């Protein structure tokens, strides 16, 4: 089984979907830790319910961003992950983490990248007047919401949609989409430019 660490900032519904898929055998993996940048986030209650250890690392506890990023890396390394899943993690990953886990960090973004990077992607889609929106699961690169795309799912945007109704329609697709991507990763099926990205690196 692949060791999966989840980075999350809030509600944790994508984290829940990944954990559930590990429990029911859809994903050949195990959630071994949750790293969260907000004490009090709902995802921490979920981790307690799963009996999965969690680490809270808040920016305000550190002198500067570099020290914060060092702490995040140290926490991640301590869980010995094969895969890091960003699931509603509302920060840009430090380069230290990306270099420590090349091709082993994936993210879900609530837009059809490369459109609508950054915060409030669903609101950006409404404001742009697009008729198709969706979600993207991708490998994490060093830029904001970039890196090789693994899978995308499209949903329609209706004339009377609000940010909330569109977000809900996208979220419904996020969970199965993220689970499919993680399952494929754990079967060593994912490739970047033709090269398999997992399997040969595993230190377990």
Site for ligand GAR in 7-66 (CB under 6 A): 8, 10-14
Considering the complex, what minimum distance in angstroms separates the CB of residue 21 from ligand GAR?
14
138: contact with ligand GAR by CB under 6 A: no
Which DSSP category does 51 fall into? Answer: T
Residue 22's alpha-carbon distances to 41, 111, 138, 174, in angstroms, are: 22, 25, 20, 16
Q: Is 107 annotated as a binding residue?
A: yes
Q: Residue from 72, 113, 125, 171 that binds ligand GAR (CB under 6 A)?
A: 171
Q: For ligand GAR, which residue has the nearest CB? A: 88
Whether 175 is catalytic is no
* 158's tokens: 């209706």
* 194's tokens: 């033709």
Q: How many CA atoms lie within 13 A of 109 on its CB side?
A: 29
Q: Nearest to residue 178, comparing CAs of 29, 73, 10? A: 29
In the complex with ligand GAR, the residue whose CB is nearer, 81 or 88, is 88
- Report d(CA 31, CA 83) in Å as an integer: 10
* 25's tokens: 């055998």
Q: Residue from 18, 75, 87, 197 that binds ligand GAR (CB under 6 A)?
A: 87
Q: Is 60 annotated as a binding residue?
A: no
- Interface residues with ligand GAR (CB under 6 A) are 8, 10-14, 87-88, 90, 108-110, 121, 171, 174
Which residues belong to the active site? 109
């Amino acid at each position: 089984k692949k060791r999966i660490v989840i980075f999350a900032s809030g509600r944790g519904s994508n984290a829940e979907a990944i954990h559930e898929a590990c429990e029911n055998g859809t994903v050949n993996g195990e959630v071994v830790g949750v790293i969260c940048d907000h004490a009090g986030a709902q995802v921490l209650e979920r981790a307690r319910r799963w009996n999965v250890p969690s680490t809270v690392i808040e920016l305000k506890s550190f002198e500067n961003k570099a020290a914060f990023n060092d702490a995040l890396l140290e926490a991640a390394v301590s869980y010995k992950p094969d895969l890091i899943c960003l699931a509603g993690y509302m920060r840009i990953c430090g380069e230290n983490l990306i270099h420590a886990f090349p091709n082993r960090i994936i993210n879900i973004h609530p837009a059809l990248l490369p459109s609508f990077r950054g915060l409030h992607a669903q609101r950006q889609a409404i404001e742009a007047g697009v008729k198709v929106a969706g979600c993207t699961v991708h490998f994490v690169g060093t830029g904001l919401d970039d890196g090789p795309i693994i899978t995308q799912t499209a949903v329609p945007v209706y004339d009377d949609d609000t940010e909330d109704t569109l977000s809900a329609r996208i979220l419904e697709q996020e969970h199965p989409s993220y689970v499919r991507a993680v399952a494929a990763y754990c079967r060593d099926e994912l490739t970047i430019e033709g090269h398999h990205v997992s399997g040969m690196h595993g230190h377990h």
